[in-house]
């Protein structure tokens, strides 16, 4: 049993929390959303690095045993600094271009991620390790995160914007699409509407949580005697609307958790 902190610029990391609740139900969780500052994807590297470190430090101060940086953008810009500064397990997320390269049949892979992720050294270093016979079509999903934050993932507006962003990827005939931002799994329905059922969507949340699980195993604390666990939502903007979004967006069962919100003035 551990207290696990999950951090994202907004509601995107709920796609990771959802998977964590499935794989690791007998743990306490704090979900921290920096919704007052989302989207991160169009901000400077320096800003993202400093803010991500500050918020992960807050999670450490809340007593977390491990932190998932459930944001590709923050991982790309800040994970090294966070790991150097905090003496607990810190797990990041990266666009799944590696599994995509292994799974694609026609060698054409679309990568939808934030501008900051696509421009980052970390992403480009990973890309450089992949086989040159694979063609990666990179597309920044500008404007998508604010729509998801506003609860409009399934709106005609989101569908229209997504259609524009996916045009080049679709025209190139990609058989695989990497969801390189934790917000994008919430666009799955819209993506399927536009690209059909056959395109292989790569979402790394399952693998990320498996990694978290193996890190926790080495510091296992007993959950014996406990039948209830806590799930706390903290936001830099509005905790109650974060809780509403979580209930709407997540499919996992929260009934064995005592769900609560917390206001943290130090992050506002």
The one among 182, 204, 232, 236 contacting ligand DGL by CB under 6 A: 182
92 interacts with ligand DGL by CB under 6 A: no
Per DSSP, the residues of 213-258 read HHHHHTT----TT---EEEEEEESS-HHHHHHHHHHH--S--TTEE
The one among 114, 204, 205, 236 contacting ligand DGL by CB under 6 A: 114
Q: What positions carry a catalytic annotation?
A: 71, 181
If the CB atoms of residues 27 and 73 are measured against ligand DGL, the closer one turns out to be 73
Q: Which residues neighbour 156 within 8 Å (Cβ) at sequence distance 6 or greater?
A: none
* Pair of tokens at residue 119: 């421009």
- Name the β-bridge partners of 234: 32, 262
Say which DSSP state 37 is in: T
Q: How far is CA 153 from CA 50, 146, 186, 188, 249, in A?
A: 29, 9, 6, 9, 10
8 interacts with ligand DGL by CB under 6 A: yes
| Per-residue interface string for the shown chain with ligand DGL, residues 191-230, x marking contact by CB under 6 A | ----------------------------------------
Give the interface segment with ligand DGL, choosing from 39-47, 59-67, 187-195, 230-238 (CB under 6 A).
39-47
The one among 40, 123, 136, 229 contacting ligand DGL by CB under 6 A: 40
The minimum distance between CB 179 and ligand DGL, in angstroms, equals 9
* Pair of tokens at residue 90: 């810190």
For 225, counting Cβ atoms within 10 Å of its Cβ (0-12 exposed, 13-18 middle, 19+ buried), the class is: exposed
183 interacts with ligand DGL by CB under 6 A: yes
The minimum distance between CB 39 and ligand DGL, in angstroms, equals 3
- How many C-alpha atoms does 185 have within 13 Å on its Cβ side? 23
181 interacts with ligand DGL by CB under 6 A: yes
- Gyration radius (Cα) of the chain, Å: 18
Length of the chain: 268
Enumerate residues 43-82 that contact ligand DGL by CB under 6 A. 71-73
The one among 58, 89, 104, 117 contacting ligand DGL by CB under 6 A: 117
Give the interface segment with ligand DGL, choosing from 36-44, 79-87, 104-112, 210-218 (CB under 6 A).
36-44
15 interacts with ligand DGL by CB under 6 A: no
The minimum distance between CB 23 and ligand DGL, in angstroms, equals 19
User: Residues 259, 231: contact at Cβ < 8 Å?
Assistant: yes
Chain positions contacting ligand DGL, by CB under 6 A: 8-10, 12, 38-41, 71-73, 114, 117, 145, 181-183
């Amino acid at each position: 049993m551990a207290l696990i902190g999950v951090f994202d610029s907004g509601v995107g990391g709920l796609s990771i929390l959802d998977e964590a609740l499935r794989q690791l139900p007998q743990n306490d969780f704090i979900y921290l959303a920096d919704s007052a500052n989302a989207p991160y994807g169009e901000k400077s590297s320096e800003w993202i690095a400093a803010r991500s470190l500050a918020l992960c430090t807050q999670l450490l101060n809340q007593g977390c045993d491990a932190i998932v940086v459930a944001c590709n953008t923050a991982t790309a810009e800040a994970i090294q600094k966070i790991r150097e500064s905090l003496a607990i397990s810190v797990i990041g997320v990266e666009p799944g271009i590696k599994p995509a390269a292994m799974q694609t049949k026609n060698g054409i892979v679309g990568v939808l991620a934030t501008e900051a992720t696509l421009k980052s050294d970390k992403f480009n270093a990973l890309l450089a390790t992949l086989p040159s016979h694979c063609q990666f079509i990179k597309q920044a999903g500008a404007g998508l995160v604010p729509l998801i934050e506003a609860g409009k993932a399934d709106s005609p507006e989101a569908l229209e914007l997504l259609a524009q962003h996916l045009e080049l990827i679709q025209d190139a005939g990609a058989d695989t699409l990497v969801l390189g931002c934790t917000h994008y799994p919430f666009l799955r329905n819209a993506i399927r509407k536009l690209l059909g059922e056959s395109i292989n969507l790569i979402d790394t949340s399952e693998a990320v949580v498996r990694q978290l699980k193996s890190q926790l195993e080495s510091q296992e604390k007993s959950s014996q005697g406990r039948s209830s666990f806590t799930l706390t939502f903290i936001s830099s903007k509005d905790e109650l609307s974060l809780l509403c979004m979580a209930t709407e967006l997540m499919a996992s069962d929260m009934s064995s958790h005592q769900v609560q919100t917390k206001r943290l003035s130090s992050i506002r």
